Structure 1
């Protein structure tokens, strides 16, 4: 029986690969899934708000949500 790697989630495929380390098709399917995942964008510190400002905004939002 042939396993359909395309329908597996990344976690399922990883688990399968750990149990079947010799399966090259599973390895390549896993690498393809990893390669197609979005990556986090990296911003310079000059583009972002100071951490204190972000913390203050989050606290204000939490207080606002608690009132409702």
Structure 2
């Protein structure tokens, strides 16, 4: 049996693969490693007086970016 090269898969392909092959711990670990290597963006700290507004603005930005990508794909 040949070894699967997870590095050649896109994030979406790798996620779909490990969801279909839930017993493949190496695939799951490869996905977690890939996700954990990404830089994390801190939107607001819990003590920030503008916490709600900042979180809502970040969500709106994500939704707008996602919508724009979808429109470009269509």
Give the TM interval when normalised to the shorter protein. 0.5 to 0.7
Superposition deviation, residue 40 in structure 1: 1.7
TM-score by length of 2: 0.53
Q: Distance in 1 between matches of 2:38 and 2:27?
A: 17
Listed one character per residue, the Cα deviations across residues 18-52 of structure 1 (whole Å, up to 9, x for unaligned) are: 1100001001101001101122232454xx8xx8x
Structure 1 unaligned runs (5+)? 52-68
**Structure 1 stretches of at least 4 aligned residues deviating more than 6 Å after TM superposition:** none
Q: Which has the higher contact order (CA 8 A, sep 6+)?
A: 1
Name the count of aligned residue pairs. 48
Q: CA RMSD in A?
A: 2.3
TM-score by length of 1: 0.57
The structure with more radius of gyration: 1
Structure 2 unaligned runs (5+)? 58-74
